[in-house]
């Protein structure tokens, strides 16, 4: 059962990650196009600031966080945890993930609520290009919801002692320094 849930979640995380990578590529192309268009053609691309701020950044960040949790890429201090006995380490991970999942459950719920309200009101931005406001909130909501599901699964795996060893290892290498 746990394996099926894990496989299903990996598929979801993979799909979200593709979305995040597309957002990243679009960000590179649109910001460069805007700057180069300004210099070469004398006309910047309209709406690039809004597109980047409202959708692309939210997409890159929130669509990738569940996968990053599975891969153990979220930055953490492991120097103390390494000295804990195995049983205590398991308990502390479960507690940490339970607290984290509570936080992101609230974030997912409240962002989803905001996305729905914005959608129902038909809110649009007022810049040169009118973008629907709800999409950015929606990206936060689904990314956070996927993270909550991943954390729930990791908690369940921890409780039944099925967690692959050291999946929570967070390498500092991944923090981009």
Partner 1 sequence: MTLEILIVFALLATMISMGTPISFSMGVAGALGLWLTLGFAPMSGILQTTPYRSSASFLLATVPMFLLMAEFMSRSGISSGIFRAANAFLYRARGGLAQATLLANAFMAAISGSSTATTAAMASVALPEMRRHGYSDSLSLGIISVSGTLAIMIPPSIPLVLYGVITETSIGKLLIAGIIPGLLTAAGYAAMIWFKVKRNPAIAPDITHLENKPEKPVREVVRAWDGILIATLVLGGIYSGAFTPTEASAIGALGTFLIAVFYRRIGTRGLISAFASATNITGAIFLIVVGAMIFSYFLSATQVSRELVTWVQGLDQPVILLLCVLLLIYVLLGCFMDQLAILFLTLPLFFPLVMSWGMDPVWFGIIVTKTVEIGLITPPLGMNAYVAAGATGAPVAKIFRAIMPFLFVDIAILALLVAFPILSLFLPNLM
Q: Assess 8 for contact with partner 1 (CB under 8 A).
A: no
Where do we find the tokens 């929570």? Answer: 168
Cα angle 6, 12, 15; round to 5:
140
146 near partner 1 (CB under 8 A):
no
CA gap 124, 127 in Å, rounded:
9
Q: Which stretch binds partner 1 (CB under 8 A): 4-12, 75-83, 124-132, 155-163?
A: 75-83
User: Binder to partner 1 among 80, 85, 86, 126 (CB under 8 A)?
Assistant: 80
Q: How many CA atoms lie within 13 A of 27 on its CB side?
A: 16
Report in angstroms how near the CB of residue 4 gets to partner 1 at its nearest. Answer: 25
Give residues 102-131 in contact with partner 1 (rule: CB under 8 A).
102-103, 106-107, 110-111, 113-114
Nearer to partner 1, 156 or 170 (CB): 170
Query: Is residue 74 near partner 1 by the rule CB under 8 A?
Result: yes
**Sign of the Cα pseudo-torsion (56, 57, 62, 67, in order):** positive
């Amino acid at each position: 059962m746990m394996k099926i849930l894990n496989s299903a979640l990996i598929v979801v995380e993979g799909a979200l990650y593709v979305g995040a990578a597309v957002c990243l590529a679009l960000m590179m192309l649109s910001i460069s196009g805007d700057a180069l268009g300004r210099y070469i053609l004398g006309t910047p691309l309209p709406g690039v600031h809004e597109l980047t701020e409202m959708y692309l950044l939210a997409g890159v960040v929130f669509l990738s966080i569940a996968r990053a949790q599975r891969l153990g890429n979220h930055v953490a201090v492991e120097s103390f945890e390494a000295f804990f006995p195995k049983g205590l380490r398991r308990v502390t991970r479960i507690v940490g993930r339970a607290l984290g999942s509570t936080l992101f459950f609230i974030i997912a719920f409240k962002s989803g609520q905001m996305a729905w309200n914005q959608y129902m009101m038909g809110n649009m931005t007022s810049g040169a290009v009118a973008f629907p406001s709800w999409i950015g909130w929606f990206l936060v909501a689904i990314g956070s919801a996927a993270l909550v599901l991943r954390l729930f699964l990791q908690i369940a795996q921890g409780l039944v002692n099925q967690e692959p060893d050291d999946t929570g290892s967070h390498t500092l290498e991944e923090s981009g320094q």
